[in-house]
Structure 1
């Protein structure tokens, strides 16, 4: 019998990754074992029309074919693509990818997911609970398996409170306060800022013109953590406030008792938590205070593992995570009846009442 495979894809700011795994029931033994992974360091472009599907396809199709060839051939039973910006900028992908992937790779079952959803699937699988994904930005996702709840993830100008860019900006503000002689400044953060960026008076010129400002700001977050660990009270207060923001977002999306049973888990995933104790100690205290009885834990896997799990669940008819027109869209390829209960060809579902909660108050 010809081998049948599933393909998981993770597209983000650092590039695109694709993994091939044997199709199987993800409920048995967790995420399917991957037989191969390929990656590109070139991020998929975003233009005026949103995420550019042609650029994604130009990278993904050769990767998928190479993975299939290295595995001895066979066909794809399903694919799942998780992409940063899918919820707000993924209209072109949702319109163009189903037919293009059906033609190029013979994909008959496809899931198009926001990266927060693949992060959730990688961290908790298909269990109810809460996942906080924090790196440069910050978003919290929760589900009772009947609907999604989202908090923050609104970008560095309007939200992402407690994320890396937020921490870095707050640390640089404290540095400039010390430079000016204003209250709330930190000499330690000023010294660190000048070591990283140069003279404090030149900082605006080094930050404002950058098109990658969120990443530039986030690059200072480790310095804030280092100063906090060394005993600087201002840096410690920045991280304590970041922990409060993150815990507020987790609390906002935690399904209440009675909606599928109160989850006992909140997973923390993303590079921000590599800052270590200066952030995680106050964060665990905040989570314990706001969500008593909910156990913080490390994620089972990363967003790419989550994409593989979604593809396998789709291939075997065991997908339990809630479908949604922009967060977890299951399109109907041309010529096939929709397998999405309660959905039309545009992906509309009964889940249109997603809770969007901005925690930056």
Structure 2
């Protein structure tokens, strides 16, 4: 949703811009907007959440530089950064990274830093209050009021939570595939799909022969049963945790074919997300307030379908879908300038 609500900006300079950033665990997106709400520049960078292995300063600078290319930096008069991990625990680090990236490009002042959770809500509705359910790299639910989180459930990162996220689904898919390979788990097509998605065609081709030639011996060396699992372990442990998110769609696709193991994972993911909603719902004072779905897991697919059905049963209306997070952050920046 790139169109922004156009506030009354008559008292502000016509030759001025605001910045909106939506920075998650795997991607950072930046929008440059004029004060009438027109998005005139866009940029992107890698993930900025340090809890998922990101380098926030570099990610923010990369996206900012691309979005502001060719404009006078002194014409940027405000900005809102929504960054995953910008809650109390990670806030000092991310505020410092935001300020450094901002000033490195010659822009005066400093951006306001919010969690990406509040930005996700703003991207899906003009309402000031409501619930956002998010499931991308991270996962959880929150009640939002005027850009602030009133109550939150989960969103604790891959080590302590984020049940229902793409990373969680991916991790469960890999675990299920490994369990099937070594005989501990139920047979599943994930034991074929997961290694192909993780390792790629070239590595799988190298692992496909039933025997390897022992160099210099002239004899065949049988390939042990642990060869493929060890290759998977090397790939998983050699990459940042957020990269497991790319296995989430593999699990969803397997569930859509009827694979029982993948179906169980998908159902459990949806159950966790609906449990998050039930946990924060008591803090919602307006029962008619909107509910916004955000994140790659909830834009489509089996988890999204189950969660939508559950939300409609709870609230009596269909949830809204979050739009472009960077544009939502720019919308918030304009509003805050007008209100100042």
- Over residues 296-322 of structure 1, what are the superposed CA-to-partner deviations in whole Å (9 max), with x where a residue is unaligned? 2222x22101110111011100xxxxx
Q: Name the structure where helix makes up a greater proportion of residues.
A: 2
* TM-score, normalised relative to structure 2: 0.74
Q: Which residue of 1 aligns with 2:337?
A: 315
Are the equivalent residues in 2 in contact too, given 1:137–1:153 (CA < 8 A)? Answer: yes
- Do the aligned partners of residues 89 and 22 (structure 1) sit closer, same or farther apart at CA in structure 2, a change above 3 Å counting? same
Question: Using the alignment, how far apart are the partners of 2:101 and 2:254 within structure 1?
Answer: 50
- Over the residues paired in the alignment, what is the CA RMSD in angstroms? 3.3
Pairing partner for 1:34 from 24, 36, 39: 39
Question: Using the alignment, how far apart are the partners of 1:229 and 1:52 within structure 2?
Answer: 36
Q: Which moved more, 1:263-272 or 1:227-236?
A: 263-272
Q: Which moved more, 1:10-19 or 1:225-234?
A: 10-19
Q: Are 1:195 and 2:219 an aligned pair? A: no
Pairing partner for 1:271 from 289, 292, 296: 296
Are the equivalent residues in 1 in contact too, given 2:125–2:320 (CA < 8 A)? Answer: no
Q: Which residue of 1 aligns with 2:211?
A: none
Q: Are 1:175 and 2:169 an aligned pair? A: no
- Do the aligned partners of residues 204 and 265 (structure 1) sit closer, same or farther apart at CA in structure 2, a change above 3 Å counting? same
Number of positions where the alignment pairs a residue of Structure 1 with one of Structure 2? 296
Pairing partner for 1:4 from 16, 22, 25: 16
Pairing partner for 2:307 from 274, 280, 283: 283
Displacement of 1:163 after TM fit? 0.8
- Over residues 106-157 of structure 1, what are the superposed CA-to-partner deviations in whole Å (9 max), with x where a residue is unaligned? 34x7421112221121122343211122112213221244752211111112
Displacement of 1:174 after TM fit? 2.3
Displacement of 1:181 after TM fit? 2.9
Question: Using the alignment, how far apart are the partners of 2:94 and 2:177 within structure 1?
Answer: 42
Name the SS for the 1:219 alignment partner: helix
Question: Using the alignment, how far apart are the partners of 1:309 and 1:241 within structure 2?
Answer: 35
Are the equivalent residues in 2 in contact too, given 1:175–1:193 (CA < 8 A)? Answer: yes
Q: Which residue of 1 aligns with 2:319?
A: 296
Question: Using the alignment, how far apart are the partners of 2:307 and 2:28 within structure 1?
Answer: 31
Displacement of 1:273 after TM fit? 2.9
Q: Are 1:18 and 2:19 an aligned pair? A: no
Displacement of 1:239 after TM fit? 0.6
Q: Which moved more, 1:120-129 or 1:152-161?
A: 120-129
Q: Which residue of 2 aligns with 1:334?
A: none
Are the equivalent residues in 2 in contact too, given 1:266–1:297 (CA < 8 A)? Answer: yes
Rg larger in 1 or in 2?
2
Name the SS for the 1:159 alignment partner: coil
Displacement of 1:251 after TM fit? 2.2
Displacement of 1:58 after TM fit? 5.0
- Over residues 22-56 of structure 1, what are the superposed CA-to-partner deviations in whole Å (9 max), with x where a residue is unaligned? 225xxxxxxx221222x243555959xx9665x46
Provide structure 1 residue ranges, at least 5 long, that are not aligned to the other structure: 25-31, 318-338, 340-361
- Do the aligned partners of residues 51 and 314 (structure 1) sit closer, same or farther apart at CA in structure 2, a change above 3 Å counting? farther
Displacement of 1:246 after TM fit? 0.8
Are the equivalent residues in 2 in contact too, given 1:3–1:75 (CA < 8 A)? Answer: yes
Are the equivalent residues in 1 in contact too, given 2:118–2:149 (CA < 8 A)? Answer: no
Displacement of 1:91 after TM fit? 0.7
Provide structure 2 residue ranges, at least 5 long, that are not aligned to the other structure: 1-12, 205-226
Q: Are 1:232 and 2:285 an aligned pair? A: no
Pairing partner for 2:71 from 68, 71, 76: 68
Q: Which residue of 2 aligns with 1:117?
A: 118
Name the SS for the 1:105 alignment partner: coil
Question: Using the alignment, how far apart are the partners of 2:100 and 2:238 within structure 1?
Answer: 37
Question: Using the alignment, how far apart are the partners of 2:46 and 2:260 within structure 1?
Answer: 40
